[in-house]
């Protein structure tokens, strides 16, 4: 029946699931750990890699404005996320929120969308990690053959190209290592992430602090390059497209909400960590993009390691800083891979527990208490994608998935305020309905600004998802089985 497609989980059911912890995940994460997980995910490929790509291909020096526009959309969506996180302390992020507000079919759409988001986000960061590792090794005379150091395919403003390479070995290697770490345990992964985040913040501040004296103001002229006549290639449309391309950089607070079942006090700490993450990271993003485009002309920034390029272009005065920047960036990108791969496995974990994906994704390791099957399967496909596809294409796919998830979360708040107005909320989104409506609108405008072929890939991905849902998920849905048994 059609109405069964929109069967919902009640807030009482979700709260009971969270309280019982029947999934067997350990609660290790406090406010500091959750905030560092968020920063660990946000300060990554967006700041170390895609800043340069988006500047060269879309916005020029005005990439600063793109980051600010993205931050506005993220703030509005983040306020909606915070309310949901305070009410529904379960793994699954927007997928779980959708189940409570719009029903199973929309929950599936969001969940499958989040799979796209996290899978390609992790792959994107892995390719960026590879670029910085290669640059770091080259400083010491160590060179990996090009055939093993880049994707066999490239994608730019002119379309697809064959590079002649076999696969990106360093990108595959880091995904494999992080997968093993996540199987060993969340506590160990968080410890590594905390150290990496501290190093990463120091590196970003060093780049801004020392780089600002090497800015060449002429690199900012024109600040908004004239549009080429093609939508999204410079001008104001380029700023808008740039904001959409780098939007996935703010995926961190979504990743935080996927760890709800491993948070000690999720109803209080999750909303705070989401907002702290967004505030800290926006300031750092604007600072880096401002300095980066001042040191290097935007036309030269379409590389996998733009900050490394900026340091090298600064001359002998900053030569001493180069290895520290590159090594710190490598550590920082490693922490992003940890958080995004962690988020992906928890999405699979939640969907499988609801019967919408295969049961193997629900299994936890007898010793480590982690969803090891989910982690290993995710790690395999992430490594495959990172080894074969170019970073520009990956970044666009992540952004459209993130924007769609944010839109649905914003709409979900409007629905929940109508259906459950008296439900206890440890955090309430302010100025409803203004904030959710504006959040959905800003995110939708950025989606429209993305290239048409990105939309085509999204539709293809969703079509595959519907085949899985109607072929497997709908038949094995736990919520549907409970409804049937209650009618008997």
| Half-sphere exposure in the Cβ direction for 200 (13 Å, CA) | 30
CB 34 within 8 A of CB 263: yes
Position 40 scores a pLDDT of 73
| CA–CA separation, 349 and 345 (whole Å) | 6
Q: What is the CATH number of domain 27-480?
A: 1.20.1740.10
Going from N- to C-terminal start, the domains of the chain cover 27-480
Interval 103-132 mean pLDDT: 86
**Beta carbons within 8 Å of 209's beta carbon, 6+ residues apart:** none
What distances in angstroms separate CA 391 from CA 91, 130, 255, one per listed residue?
A: 28, 11, 21
| CA–CA separation, 278 and 67 (whole Å) | 12
Q: Which two tokens stand for residue 176?
A: 């494999």
- Res 472 pLDDT > 80: yes
Position 61 scores a pLDDT of 94
Using one digit for the tens of pLDDT, what is the confidence trace for 253-270?
Answer: 676 776 666 777 777 787
CB 444 within 8 A of CB 407: yes
| CA–CA separation, 30 and 26 (whole Å) | 12
Position 383 scores a pLDDT of 93
Position 374 scores a pLDDT of 85
94 confidence band (pLDDT: 50, 70, 90):
confident
Q: Residue 398 — φ and ψ, nearest 5°?
A: -65, -45
Query: Which of 92-96, 222-226, 334-338 has maximum average pLDDT?
Result: 222-226
Chain Cα centroid distance, residue 283: 18
Position 215 scores a pLDDT of 93
Secondary structure, 3-state, 271-314: HHHHHHHHHHHHHHHHHHHHHHHHHCCHHHCCCCCHHHHHHHHC
β partners of residue 263: 29
Burial, 284: exposed, middle or buried (Cβ in 10 Å; 0-12, 13-18, 19+)? Answer: buried
Residue among 407, 406, 404 nearest 454 (CA): 404
Q: Which two tokens stand for residue 470?
A: 């109607």
Interval 175-201 mean pLDDT: 81
| CA–CA separation, 185 and 315 (whole Å) | 43
Interval 219-224 mean pLDDT: 93
Q: Which two tokens stand for residue 326?
A: 């590159």
| 3-state secondary structure at position 29 | strand
78, 351, 418, 414 alpha-carbon torsion, rounded to 10°? 30
How does DSSP assign 452-466, residue by residue? HHHHHHHHHHHHHHH
- Res 425 pLDDT > 70: yes
CB 364 within 8 A of CB 394: no
179 confidence band (pLDDT: 50, 70, 90):
very high
Position 31 scores a pLDDT of 84
CB 391 within 8 A of CB 129: no
Using one digit for the tens of pLDDT, what is the confidence trace for 226-252?
Answer: 999 888 899 999 999 888 777 766 766
Q: Which two tokens stand for residue 428?
A: 């309430």
| CA–CA separation, 9 and 21 (whole Å) | 17
CB 327 within 8 A of CB 98: no
Average pLDDT in the chain: 83
Position 226 scores a pLDDT of 93
Q: Residue 169 — φ and ψ, nearest 5°?
A: -60, -45
Q: Determine what percent of the chain falls in helix, strand and coil, rounding each to the nearest 5.
A: 75, 0, 20
Tokens 């410079």 label which residue?
Answer: 234
More confident residue, 22 or 224: 224
How many helices (H) and strands (E) in the chain? 20, 2
% of the chain with per-residue pLDDT over 70:
88
β partners of residue 77: none
Interval 293-306 mean pLDDT: 87
Using one digit for the tens of pLDDT, what is the confidence trace for 5-37?
Answer: 778 877 777 767 666 555 555 666 788 888 887
Residue among 12, 84, 78 nearest 280 (CA): 78
CB 62 within 8 A of CB 238: yes
| 3-state secondary structure at position 203 | helix
Residue among 340, 437, 314 nearest 127 (CA): 340
Query: Which of 1-15, 88-102, 428-442 has maximum average pLDDT?
Result: 428-442
Residue among 393, 59, 410, 379 nearest 240 (CA): 59
CA quadruple 405, 406, 409, 411: dihedral positive or negative? negative
% of the chain with per-residue pLDDT over 90:
22
Interval 144-152 mean pLDDT: 87
Q: Where are the beta strands (DSSP E) in 110-158?
A: 153-156
Q: Residue 436 — φ and ψ, nearest 5°?
A: -60, -40
**Beta carbons within 8 Å of 211's beta carbon, 6+ residues apart:** 291, 292, 294, 295, 310, 311, 314, 318
277 confidence band (pLDDT: 50, 70, 90):
confident
223 confidence band (pLDDT: 50, 70, 90):
very high
Residue among 409, 395, 399 nearest 76 (CA): 409
122 confidence band (pLDDT: 50, 70, 90):
confident
């Amino acid at each position: 029946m059609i109405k069964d497609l929109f069967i919902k989980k009640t807030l009482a059911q979700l709260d009971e699931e969270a309280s019982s912890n029947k999934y067997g995940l350990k609660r290790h994460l406090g406010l500091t750990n959750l905030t560092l997980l968020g920063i660990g995910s946000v300060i990554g490929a967006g700041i170390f890699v895609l800043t340069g790509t988006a500047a060269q291909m879309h916005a020029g020096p005005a990439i600063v404005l793109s980051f600010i526009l993205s931050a506005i959309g993220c703030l509005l969506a983040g306020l909606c996320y915070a309310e949901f996180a305070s009410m529904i302390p379960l793994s699954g992020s927007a997928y779980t929120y959708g189940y409570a507000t719009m029903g199973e079919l929309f929950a599936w759409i969001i969940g499958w969308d989040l799979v796209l988001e996290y899978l390609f986000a992790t792959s994107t960061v892995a390719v960026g990690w590879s670029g910085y590792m290669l640059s770091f090794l080259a400083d010491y005379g160590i060179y990996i053959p090009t055939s093993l150091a880049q994707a066999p395919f490239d994608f730019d403003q002119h379309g697809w190209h064959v590079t002649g390479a076999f696969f990106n070995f360093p990108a595959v290697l880091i995904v494999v290592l992080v997968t093993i770490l996540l199987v060993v345990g969340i506590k160990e992964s968080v410890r590594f992430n905390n150290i990496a985040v501290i190093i990463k913040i120091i590196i970003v501040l060093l780049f801004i602090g020392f780089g600002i004296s090497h800015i060449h103001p002429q690199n900012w002229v024109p600040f908004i390059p004239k549009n080429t006549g093609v939508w999204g290639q410079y001008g104001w449309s380029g700023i808008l497209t740039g904001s959409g391309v780098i939007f996935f950089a703010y995926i961190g607070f979504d990743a935080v909400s996927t760890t709800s079942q491993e948070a000690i006090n999720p109803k209080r700490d999750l909303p705070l960590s989401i907002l702290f993450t967004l505030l800290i990271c926006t300031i750092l993003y604007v600072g880096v993009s401002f300095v980066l485009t001042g040191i290097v002309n935007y036309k030269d920034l379409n590389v996998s390691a733009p900050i490394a390029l900026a340091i090298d272009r600064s001359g002998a005065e900053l030569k001493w800083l180069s290895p520290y920047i590159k090594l710190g960036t490598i550590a920082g990108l490693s922490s992003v891979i940890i958080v995004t791969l962690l988020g992906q496995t928890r999405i699979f974990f939640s969907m499988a527990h609801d019967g919408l994906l295969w049961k193997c994704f629900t299994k936890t390791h007898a010793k480590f208490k982690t969803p090891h099957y989910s982690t290993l399967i995710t790690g395999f496909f992430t490594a495959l994608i990172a080894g074969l596809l170019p970073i520009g294409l990956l970044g666009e796919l992540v952004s459209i998935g993130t924007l769609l998830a944010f839109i649905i979360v914003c709409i979900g708040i409007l629905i929940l305020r109508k259906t459950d107005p008296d439900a206890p909320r440890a955090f309430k989104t302010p100025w409803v309905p203004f904030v959710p409506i504006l959040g959905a609108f800003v995110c939708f405008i950025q989606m429209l600004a993305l290239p048409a072929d990105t939309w085509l890939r999204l539709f293809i991905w969703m079509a595959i998802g519907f085949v899985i849902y109607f072929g497997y998920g709908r038949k094995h849905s736990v919520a549907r089985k409970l409804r049937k048994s209650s009618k008997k």
